[in-house]
Every structure is written in structure tokens, then in C-alpha cells.
Chain A
């Protein structure tokens, strides 16, 4: 077992202990402080996963700003939680179900650092083979022009490209790119925008961006619901 894995397990165990402490402690100020500790531990975990940018955000927002915001909220509330029932069964069921779905989702994932993962054999190669919007070896800039799908499929008659690159065995997809490469049109940039940022956000990390947007939308709707002007009821 690598030491990084061991560090990860210990830190995650500590984070779980802190999380249980946060929900079991009565005093709201103590819960706020334990939340700060949780953020610090999570930042260490993110750094152990080499996600330094996430760790940076977690440290700045999680440990710093949200502790201050929660303390500011405490000024306007009581200091103790209400006595709540010991276990809220529907909530527990929801959490357990969501957690098991997430764990089930990881079963299909390739091993960490696996060089033969689909992302390395398919998608990255396509992105590297993309010519539109780039300058090729002869110094010709292939500008992106609006054109119909038909034109683009005519355009790709040139034989020099060979991605997906080496499909050594199992040529059962019926032609190289004719398989439509995951349903994208057979153009030069496989249905992405030639703009690198847009391509990454919309095509390469499309699900990521979609759920990020969903999270931000949910947060915005929650703020609207909380801060809306309520009708005066007699």
C-alpha cells in the first residue's frame, strides 16, 4: 500500500469523525469551529489528490470566508440547536441511496493513472488530431468557418489523418472515424468549437460543466426562496 493511499485514508477518517462531531454537537459556535477544521482537513485531502486549485479554494472559501459568514449568522440566531429527533429516517435513506449510487458509479471507472483508459485512447487523441483553429506544420492556419455538416464531411476526404490512432485489434466499429466517434459529426473537430476553452468546457468536460451549472442554479434558487419578500399573512 502506497503511503499516499494511507495518508488519504487517515485524513478521510479524521474528516468523517469531524463531520459526525459537527452534526452531534449542540452548540452552534462549536459546530462552526468544527466546520473550519473539516475544511482544513479536506484541503489537505485535495492536496494529497494533487488537486491544488481545489485545495486553494477550499482553504480560502471553506476555512476562511464561510467560518466568518457562519459566525456572522450566529449573531442573529440562538447559540444552541433545537432538540431534533435522533435519526431522521427519510433523510438517512436518501443519503445512503445517493452514496451507494456514487460508489456504484466508481465501479466502472478505469484505474487511477491507467494509460489504456478510454480518455487516453479516444478523446485526447481526437483533440490532439484536431486541425481547425490551429496552425499546422507548414504554417497554414486552418481557420474555422461556418459551414454545413455536409461540407465538413466532404472536406475530410484527405487521408493523412489517422485518429483514433492505433486500433490494433477488434476493428468492429466499421471504418475509422465513420463510426461517428461517440455520435459526433465526422468533421475535423468532432463537433467541438475550435476555441480551446469552449471546447474543454462544453465538449471535453461537458457533464462536469452541466452539473456545476445545476449546482449554481440550485444555490441561486435557494437564495431566492430564502430571501424572497413573503406575503403578510394576517
Chain B
């Protein structure tokens, strides 16, 4: 179980690395927005995996906060790009 979780954690970090390349190079804003959102989702999974890896799965609500907050940030950036206002 621990080995599986460790391998999962490392593959998650590899996918963060690959998405990060797109975020740093990304020619358009949409590449970056998409990569921020993807990294956010990967982080949510990473938090869950890390919780089980550490034997403290009581902090799954942290992952819920991440998911919600990630959504808020993405919506704010999209509104800015699309309409040039936040309201």
C-alpha cells in the first residue's frame, strides 16, 4: 500500500513538472490558465495521496478547500481575460 502511494505521489509530481513546462512556456494566456487549473487538480489529488501516505487521512477536507479555491481563482482569471472586469 505504501509503495503504491509513493509511486502515485512521484508520478503526480512528474505530471506537475510536465504541466509546469506549459505554464512557463505557454504562448497564450489560455495555455497558462489551463495549466494552473491542471496543477490545481493534481495538487488536490496530491493532498489526498499525501494524507494517506502519512497515515493521517483526516485532512481530506483540505482537498475540498483546494478544489473550491482553485475554481475561484480560475474563474477570476477567466473573467479578467474575457471581460476586463471582475464584478
Least CB separation from B72: chain A residue: A64
Would A67 and B23 be within 8 Å (CB), given that A3-B6, A43-B43 are in contact? no
Q: Specify which of A3, A18, A48, A64 is in contact with B73 (CB 8 Å cutoff).
A: A64
Least CB separation from A29: chain B residue: B29
Would A59 and B66 be within 8 Å (CB), given that A3-B6, A40-B39, A43-B43 are in contact? yes
In the bound complex, residues from chain B placing their C-beta under 8 Å from that of A44 are: 43, 46-47, 50
In the bound complex, residues from chain A placing their C-beta under 8 Å from that of B84 are: 75
Interface residue count on the B side (C-beta < 8 Å): 40
Whether A72 is near chain B, meaning CB under 8 Å from some CB there, is yes
Least CB distance from B80 to A in Å reads 5
Interface residue count on the A side (C-beta < 8 Å): 37
Contact assessment for A41 and B16 in the assembled complex, using a CB-CB cutoff below 8 Å: yes
Least CB distance from A61 to B in Å reads 9
Contact assessment for A37 and B39 in the assembled complex, using a CB-CB cutoff below 8 Å: yes
In the bound complex, residues from chain B placing their C-beta under 8 Å from that of A30 are: 26, 29, 32
Whether A32 is near chain B, meaning CB under 8 Å from some CB there, is yes
In the bound complex, residues from chain A placing their C-beta under 8 Å from that of B29 are: 27, 29-30, 33
- How many residue-residue contacts, CB under 8 A, span A and B? 111
> Beta-carbon contacts of A22-41 to B below 8 Å, as 1s and 0s?
00010101101110110011
Least CB separation from A21: chain B residue: B24
Contact assessment for B73 and A36 in the assembled complex, using a CB-CB cutoff below 8 Å: yes
Contact assessment for B66 and A43 in the assembled complex, using a CB-CB cutoff below 8 Å: yes
Instruction: Report B46-65 residues with CB < 8 Å from chain A CB.
Output: 46-47, 50-51, 54, 56, 59, 62, 65
Q: How far is the CA of A5 from the CA of B51 in the complex (A)?
A: 16
Q: How far is the CA of A82 from the CA of B17 in the complex (A)?
A: 29
Contact assessment for A68 and B62 in the assembled complex, using a CB-CB cutoff below 8 Å: no
Would A59 and B65 be within 8 Å (CB), given that A3-B6, A33-B36, A72-B86 are in contact? yes
Contact assessment for A52 and B40 in the assembled complex, using a CB-CB cutoff below 8 Å: no
Q: How far is the CA of A67 from the CA of B40 in the complex (A)?
A: 13
In the bound complex, residues from chain A placing their C-beta under 8 Å from that of B47 are: 43-44, 47, 55
In the bound complex, residues from chain A placing their C-beta under 8 Å from that of B68 are: 64
Contact assessment for A52 and B59 in the assembled complex, using a CB-CB cutoff below 8 Å: yes
Please list the 3 inter-chain residue pairs (A to B) with the smallest Cβ-Cβ separation, ordered nearest first. Answer: A64-B69, A67-B73, A68-B76
Report A's interface with B, CB cutoff 8 A. Answer: 3, 7, 10-11, 14, 17-18, 21, 25, 27, 29-30, 32-34, 36-37, 40-41, 43-44, 47-48, 50, 52, 55-56, 59-60, 63-64, 67-68, 71-72, 74-75
